[in-house]
Copies of this chain bind each other. A is one copy, B any other.
Amino acid sequence: MPTNAFQLHPRLAKDTLVVGDLPLCRLLLMNDARFPWCLLVPRQASLRELHDLSAADLGRLTTEVVSVSRALETHCRTFKINLGALGNLVPQLHVHVVGRREDDDAWPGPVWGHGQAMPYEETEAARLRKVLQAACGLTSAR
């Protein structure tokens, strides 16, 4: 599928803030101050499952997951990284990278479906986006 056919699913667009575009994925920050929680969305049309990606793109996705995981570990005092690719509600392929802390709101359960999102204060969202952009080699959000 051509890259230019990619459109972010409206539900993902509504729930997140854009951090920027990595080689394969759009990097998003969930607008939920309870957890440092990123989404990686490969910028290709019609992807539903991880194994819909080519082998080369699977390698790129893995590299980007590792990069975001390390960024959250380094900059967000996380205790554990939780990874997930579910897509039961939003069919567009997206990978969750969530920094967990032993005192967070959902610990030790998963974050998915847990309570209500608490939107970021504007300054904190801007700070965190800049931190992630720098840590992942991005210079600006699109």
Contacts and interface: CB of A to CB of B under 8 A. Distances in A.
Q: Give the size category of A's interface with B.
A: 20 to 34
A11 interface: no
Interface in A62-111: 62, 65-66, 69-70, 80-89, 100, 107-110
A85 B50 CA distance: 14
A23 interface: no
Given A62-B59, A108-B88, A108-B89, A51 B80 contact: no
A83 B80 contact: no
B69 A80 contact: no
B113 A81 contact: no
Given A81-B49, A86-B110, A62 B58 contact: yes
Contacts of A109: 88, 112-113
Nearest to A68: B51
Interface of A: 48-51, 58-59, 62, 65-66, 69-70, 80-89, 100, 107-110, 112-113
